[in-house]
């Protein structure tokens, strides 16, 4: 049978893909449908037809699945941020656990490893300590804040994201009212005009300290002190900054920061370690799950105080400092100079002296250092970006012959690829623990323990 674009068909959803889209079949022809749940029976409009599959848009639910729940966010369908709000939380956890296992088995060809149950949250909403709101305008030309619709740069108005902190709404309201009053224009991407591009808000989970950073397409923000006077009246306000980004780019933050009021940073704790956080710092967005993740890293590292440990892609030293409490010496490598400076400051702030940080690409710094010093590592911790590790880096790790590798991943597909490569280099995957760092989304963090098969 030939299926045509823009025709409406009745479809039963029987599966879900890696991106959280429901999948149903018409006489064996698979259709991928956003916003549907396994068990849904629905009217679906075909919007794209390929040779062996198609994409559909949900028109009407005929019979909702038992797994379906009512999303807490009023714009869940339009917004591109939360792909799984229609699923019950237990179903979300099952989806993520299966995603990790399928990738490790299919891509990584892994066998004989122990997959632990995913570590979920008791309250899977209001967990994000960081939010970045693009600023645009409505049909009347008034400034609005929200999030981009999926696969577009069209802003869906939403000031109260349900996975973000409640304080964000009040902060945005002050800024938007200020912009209206002083006729400060939102940024227009299509012609690179207007001033205010984004609002960045960060909050310390334990300290409650709040940072607000206004990202502008200009050199200065008019009436900035007046805005600061209004924002500083809000509870726990600690830092108010302006960031200049005049580039035609999708990158949110520019390089120039100006302090308008308060401190240039906020602080927060992971466990009993205090970290200094600037607008440019990478810091895990889910503090509750971060502590659980790092405990699992420490468990897998199995340190007794005599080990040499390398923490590659170390950021501002969050994992490095945890490891240093249990190790003889920790070396951290990070490509972002500002992050390395923060890592050194964080070590000093916490009185941790058995750490040393290097600036540069892990795949360049690590091999050079090893070539010069020939000092073996007992444990290597990897926490790479989504693209995973360079093969040359994995080769150097294998040559160094650490007893254990602890791999922290935000993309189980590239994790699986690297696990396969490490397997070919003599390392066996022993244990895997998924951690739900990002409830309501398809993203899942994974911690793996690999061990050298034969110790020389």
Residues with a catalytic annotation lie at 410
Contact 360, 336 (CB under 8 A): no
Contact 271, 242 (CB under 8 A): no
Contact 280, 257 (CB under 8 A): yes
Q: What distance in Å separates the CA atoms of residue 236 and residue 170, rounded to the nearest whole number?
A: 12
Chain centroid, CA 403 distance in Å: 29
CA atoms within 13 A on the CB side of 399: 14
148 beta partners: 155
Q: What distance in Å separates the CA atoms of residue 313 and residue 358, rounded to the nearest whole number?
A: 10
Q: What distance in Å separates the CA atoms of residue 205 and residue 277, rounded to the nearest whole number?
A: 12
Q: What distance in Å separates the CA atoms of residue 70 and residue 53, rounded to the nearest whole number?
A: 29
Q: What distance in Å separates the CA atoms of residue 362 and residue 400, rounded to the nearest whole number?
A: 14
- Cα–Cα separations (whole angstroms), residue 22 to 12, 36, 76, 122, 236: 9, 5, 16, 26, 42
User: In terms of Cα–Cα distance, which of 173, 185, 278 is closest to 231?
Assistant: 173
- Cα–Cα separations (whole angstroms), residue 90 to 77, 162, 207, 356: 20, 18, 31, 41
223: DSSP letter: T
Helix (H) / strand (E) element for 54: namely strand 54-63
Supply 78's token pair: 């339009």
């Amino acid at each position: 049978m030939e299926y045509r674009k823009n025709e409406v068909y009745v479809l039963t959803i029987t599966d879900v893909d890696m991106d959280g889209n429901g999948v149903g079949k018409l006489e064996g022809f698979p259709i991928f449908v956003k916003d549907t749940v396994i068990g849904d029976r629905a009217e679906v409009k075909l919007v794209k037809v390929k040779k062996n599959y198609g994409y559909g848009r949900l028109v009407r639910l005929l019979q909702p699945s038992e797994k379906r729940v009512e999303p807490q966010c009023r714009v869940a369908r339009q917004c591109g941020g939360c792909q799984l709000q229609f699923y019950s939380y237990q179903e979300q956890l099952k989806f993520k656990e299966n995603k990790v296992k399928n990738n490790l088995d299919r891509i990584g060809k892994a066998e004989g490893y122990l997959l632990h149950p995913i570590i979920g949250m008791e309250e899977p909403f209001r967990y994000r300590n960081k939010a970045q709101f693009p600023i645009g305008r409505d049909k009347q030309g008034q400034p609005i804040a929200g999030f981009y619709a999926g696969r577009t740069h069209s802003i869906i108005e939403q000031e109260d994201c349900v996975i973000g902190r409640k304080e964000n709404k009040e902060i945005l309201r002050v800024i938007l009212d200020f912009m209206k009053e002083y006729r400060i224009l939102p940024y227009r991407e299509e012609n690179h005009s207007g001033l205010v591009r984004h609002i960045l808000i960060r909050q310390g989970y334990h300290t409650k300290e709040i940072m607000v950073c206004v990202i502008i397409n200009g050199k200065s923000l008019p009436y900035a002190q007046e805005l600061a006077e209004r924002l500083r009246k809000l509870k726990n306000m600690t830092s108010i900054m302006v960031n200049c980004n005049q580039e035609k780019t999708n990158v949110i933050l520019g390089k120039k920061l100006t302090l308008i009021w308060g401190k240039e940073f906020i602080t927060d704790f992971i466990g009993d370690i205090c970290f200094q956080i600037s607008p440019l710092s990478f810091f895990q967005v889910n503090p509750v799950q971060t502590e659980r993740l790092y405990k699992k890293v420490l468990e897998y590292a199995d340190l007794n105080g005599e080990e040499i440990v390398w923490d590659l892609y170390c950021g501002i030293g969050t994992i490095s400092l945890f490891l240093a409490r249990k190790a003889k010496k920790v070396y951290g490598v990070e490509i972002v100079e500002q992050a390395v400076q923060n890592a050194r400051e964080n070590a000093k702030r916490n009185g941790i002296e058995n750490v040393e940080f290097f600036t540069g690409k892990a795949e360049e710094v690590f091999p050079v250092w090893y070539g010069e010093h020939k000092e073996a590592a007992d444990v290597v911790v990897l926490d790479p970006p989504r693209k995973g590790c360079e093969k040359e880096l994995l080769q150097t790790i294998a040559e160094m012959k650490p007893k254990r590798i602890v791999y922290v991943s935000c993309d189980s597909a590239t994790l699986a690829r690297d696990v396969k490569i490490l397997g070919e280099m003599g390392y066996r995957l022993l244990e895997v623990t998924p951690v739900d760092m990002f409830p309501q989304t398809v993203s899942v963090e994974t911690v793996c323990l690999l061990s050298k098969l034969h110790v020389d």
